[in-house]
Amino acid sequence: MKSFPTFSLILAMLFTTQILIAQKTYLHCGNLIDVESKTVKKEQTIVIEKDKIVSVNAGYLSADNGETIIDLKDKTVMPGWMDMHIHVESHPSKRSYEERFRMNEADVALRATVDMRKTIEAGFTTVRDLGGSGVNVSMRNAINRGDVIGPRIFTAEKSLATTGGHADPTNGFRRTLMGDPGPKEGVVNSIEDVRKAVRQRYKNGADVIKVTATGGVLSVAKDGQGPQLTEEELRAIVVTAKDYGMTTAAHAHGDEGMRRAIVAGITSIEHGTKMSTETMDLMKKMGTWYVPTITAGKYVAKKAEEPGYYPNIIIPKAREIGPLIQKTFEKAYARGVKIAFGTDAGVFPHGENANEFIYMTEAGMPIMEALRSATIYPAEMLDQEDVLGSIKAGKYADIIATDGNPMEDIQSVLKVNFVMKGGKVVKE
């Protein structure tokens, strides 16, 4: 005869479960970088309950009630970094152009799980994905469910482009395969098209709208910088996105395409390679963010010299545009443009995102400001500053630690050996 637990036993089991759920974690931090106050604090304890930070305390609190203690006394602790320009589905190789015809969505997704694991283990607990095929939405959802380990993803789903523009998915296809993609596929040629395309992205699960305001480097098309959307079309994109509660981002290498996007009210300019001082001043006036992606620029310029890595039509664009991004970043920072950290990972291997910090400091940005560009500024840009971007009571426990202190040695950003996301340890 089957026996059943008594009512008192059930109560005891529930009570024990409550205690386990309520148990707190203490992080004992030797150095704690406070990106809000721009200071490094010694001997701090971060108290975490479930997925949130409860408090930050001076000194090392003792575990009196069975709390879990994680010893980071010989580490430098800081908020998890945020990369505002990656491509979840992209994976650089000589075969990447032919893979579009050979790989199924499942193949892309399985490879992306490995890349997202590399990304979070490199210290990036939140990313903004700026364009793919839709696998990016599924990856976000799988990570949110806990099925896959990876960063918190805000995704654009499919980038918007004009016919033949930088994100037209059929560029380079033979004519019998090109067809005539439209708003459903993210290809737009009128104000009516852009409204439909934005609403389709919302329906497909996007968090943000990405547009290609100019030509680009890696598309199989000749133009790498000319404007590809009208000011009226861009304004309609921005207005429609706001109606659906979404921010916007504009890929742009040429100055005129940037100007149009900024005047239209775009949230951020990506790459910004040939940005003029007048455009920089316009960004300051409009409050537009700049996401530089220096690492991608350096990578494509280098790979353009490797025979057979890119199709011939891409090589001159990569040689011209790639080396300019760091110089533009230097000028924009000196002029006071708002900068949020972004790398374009996927153009180069995922997991190498932290090199961007080194390139930013090479160009004159102080180390603390570079760290702020990857923490509190992206949180503000995403309208997530209440829950992301710093180590503070009430925010998600997205916390990382390095062996060395980046304030003393910027190379230490490449040596992340502790990662916690939402109160769960991912790497230790």
Structure confidence by residue, pLDDT tens digits, 411-425: 999 999 999 999 999
Q: How confident is the model at residue 328 (pLDDT cuts 50, 70, 90)?
A: very high
Q: Please provide the DSSP assignment of 114-135 as one string.
A: HHHHHHHHTTEEEEEE---SSH
What's the CATH code, domain 23-80+390-427?
2.30.40.10
- The model's pLDDT over 262-279, given as tens digits with 9 standing for 90+, comes to 999 999 999 999 999 999
Question: What's the mean per-residue pLDDT of the chain?
Answer: 93
CA 177 from chain center: how many Å?
32
- SS3 label, residue 365: coil
Q: How confident is the model at residue 245 (pLDDT cuts 50, 70, 90)?
A: very high
Report the range of poorest mean pLDDT among 96-105, 145-154, 229-238, 333-342: 96-105
- Say what the pLDDT of residue 12 is: 46
Report the range of poorest mean pLDDT among 61-75, 237-251, 259-273, 288-302: 61-75
**Burial of 163 from C-beta contacts in 10 A (0-12 / 13-18 / 19+):** middle
Cα–Cα distances in angstroms (integers) from residue 156 to residues 57, 131, 218, 247, 297, in the given order:
38, 5, 19, 10, 21
- Say what the pLDDT of residue 210 is: 98
- Domain coordinates in residue numbering, the chain: 23-80+390-427, 81-381
Tokens of 16: 């024990």
- What distance in Å separates the CA atoms of residue 376 and residue 82, rounded to the nearest whole number? 9
Residues of the chain above pLDDT 90, percent: 82
Q: Are 333 and 365 in contact (CB under 8 A)?
A: yes
Q: Which residues contact 173 (CB under 8 A, 6 or more apart)?
A: none
**Burial of 308 from C-beta contacts in 10 A (0-12 / 13-18 / 19+):** exposed
- The model's pLDDT over 128-173, given as tens digits with 9 standing for 90+, comes to 999 999 999 999 999 999 999 999 999 999 999 999 888 878 777 7
CATH superfamily membership of 81-381: Metal-dependent hydrolases (3.20.20.140)
Q: Are 234 and 228 in contact (CB under 8 A)?
A: no
Q: Please provide the DSSP assignment of 224-248 as one string.
A: SSSB-S-HHHHHHHHHHHHHTT-EE
- Say what the pLDDT of residue 4 is: 47
R_g (Cα) of the chain, nearest Å:
23
Residue 11 has pLDDT above 70, yes or no: no
The yes-or-no answer to whether 23-80+390-427 and 81-381 have a common fold is no
- Say what the pLDDT of residue 217 is: 87
Give the count of beta carbons closer than 10 Å to the beta carbon of residue 313: 14
Residue 121 has pLDDT above 90, yes or no: yes
- What distance in Å separates the CA atoms of residue 6 and residue 334, rounded to the nearest whole number? 71
More confident call, 188 vs 66: 188
